[in-house]
Structure 1
Amino acid sequence: MPQLFEPKPGQENLYIFDKTPTYLFRLHVPRSKGDTSTVHVMAPAFLGRTAYHRDGLPCGEDLLQLPTKIATSRLKDHLRWKCNHLNKSPCNLMSWSSSLLFLLQYALHRHTTDFEPKPQFPNIKIIMIDTRDFPEQTFLRDLDALEWLHEDLDAEFKRLYNNRNGRFYFGEYLTQGYLDITGKCVEMTMQQLVDGGAFHGYLSCIG
């Protein structure tokens, strides 16, 4: 059973769980945080979920059950890629996108701009799942979480909300803890996509 997002009493209407896109995609490379395979998607905090975060609460706590200030801090760390620097306070969230086009562009970005050794196409993988195979509250839209938290918060968080609520929106969804995807996913490498002609027009334009 996946770790569901469970709103606090009275906050149920803040989240739109019944309109999750049918298909979600996740890109991963060898250095991606957590563990992603065709068996599971596991957040960095899962193995130590009962250990205490720097904020004093268990690392594996449901995001929506956390006090607002703590939830804000953890969400911001995840969305701003700051979890990599937290060492003993691992993140319990993993990201997906409803936009395959965005992830294809992101894959090219990782291939060209990551620190050495840059991930090569055979090692850049995209997983697709059908969200109908999972309980309704498995996936949380980033904008719903940001909408819940952004009103009373710092300027950086408000900028993050405003950017994602505008032209920088790329359909991000979150899962937390451990998600078993055995027999519920399809995975392809960027090399397979290139060999299949998915990038023929684009790659010819950039030389």
Structure 2
Amino acid sequence: MSQLFEPKPGQETLFIFDKTPTYLFRLHVPRSKGDTSTVHVMAPAFLGRTAYHRDGLPCGKGFLQLPTKMATSRLKDHLRWECNYLNKSPYNLMSWSSSLLFLLQYALHRHTTDFETKPQFPNIKIIMIDTRDFPEQTFLRDLDALEWLHEDLDPEFKRLYNYRNGRFYFGEYLTQGYLDITGKCVEMTMLATC
């Protein structure tokens, strides 16, 4: 069962859930955070369901239900890949892209620049899903989340919003918690695509 993005009362019109692209892609390597396979995509916070974030709320709490400041902090950490540091709490978000071309470029980037054990092509995998196989509020466009939160006073977050809302947009979508993709995905390795 998917953990759906449920807006707070009165915020339903801030998010566009019915224009999710038909296909989304997710790249994963052995060192990717969370757990990604052809069975499920599981956020790190779901792995430790009782874990609490450094902000005091459960890590697995629905993203759109969080107070604005906490949602801003968690989204910024996720989009800037700052959740990977040991002093950061687990996060409940996982990223997808509507751009296969972007992920192919990112795969080459990971293959050549990862600091520790560079993943080899057979270990760099891309999963493709048909979003019509999932409930409507399963996927949240990163720009919708950024638009919701960009009025926050955090200048670093405003820079992130402006950066993503301009020419550097690559079609990112988010899921949260646990997403069962058994029988709903195709997985390929970079070896097969080279």
TM superposition score normalised by structure 2: 0.96
Which digits, 9 at most, give the CA deviation of each residue in 1:74-133, with x for residues without a partner? 000000101111457201000000000000000000000001310010000000000000
Please tell me whether the aligned partners of residues 49 and 61 of structure 1 are also in contact (alpha carbons under 8 angstroms).
Answer: no
Alignment CA distance shift 1:137-1:117 (3 Å): same
Superposition CA RMSD, Å: 2.2
Alignment CA distance shift 1:116-1:128 (3 Å): same
Which digits, 9 at most, give the CA deviation of each residue in 1:123-181, with x for residues without a partner? 00000000000000000000000000011321110110011111100000000000000
* 1:50 to partner: Cα distance: 2.5
Please tell me whether the aligned partners of residues 95 and 175 of structure 1 are also in contact (alpha carbons under 8 angstroms).
Answer: yes
Unaligned stretches of 5+ residues in structure 1:
191-204
Which digits, 9 at most, give the CA deviation of each residue in 1:18-50, with x for residues without a partner? 000000000000100000000000000002222
1:128 is matched with which residue? 128
List 4+ stretches of structure 1 deviating above 4 A: none
Aligned residues: 193
Please tell me whether the aligned partners of residues 27 and 126 of structure 1 are also in contact (alpha carbons under 8 angstroms).
Answer: yes
Unaligned stretches of 5+ residues in structure 2:
none
Please tell me whether the aligned partners of residues 26 and 127 of structure 1 are also in contact (alpha carbons under 8 angstroms).
Answer: yes
Alignment CA distance shift 1:116-1:125 (3 Å): same
1:51 is matched with which residue? 51
SS at match of 1:147: helix
Which digits, 9 at most, give the CA deviation of each residue in 1:41-73, with x for residues without a partner? 000000222221110000100000000000000
> What is the 5 A alignment of 1:84-163?
84-86=84-86, 89-163=89-163
Deviates more, 1:84-93 or 1:7-16: 84-93
- Rounded to whole Å, the distance in 2 between the matches of 1:52 and 1:80 is 21
Please tell me whether the aligned partners of residues 45 and 91 of structure 1 are also in contact (alpha carbons under 8 angstroms).
Answer: yes
- Rounded to whole Å, the distance in 2 between the matches of 1:160 and 1:129 is 27
Deviates more, 1:114-123 or 1:46-55: 46-55
Alignment CA distance shift 1:161-1:78 (3 Å): same
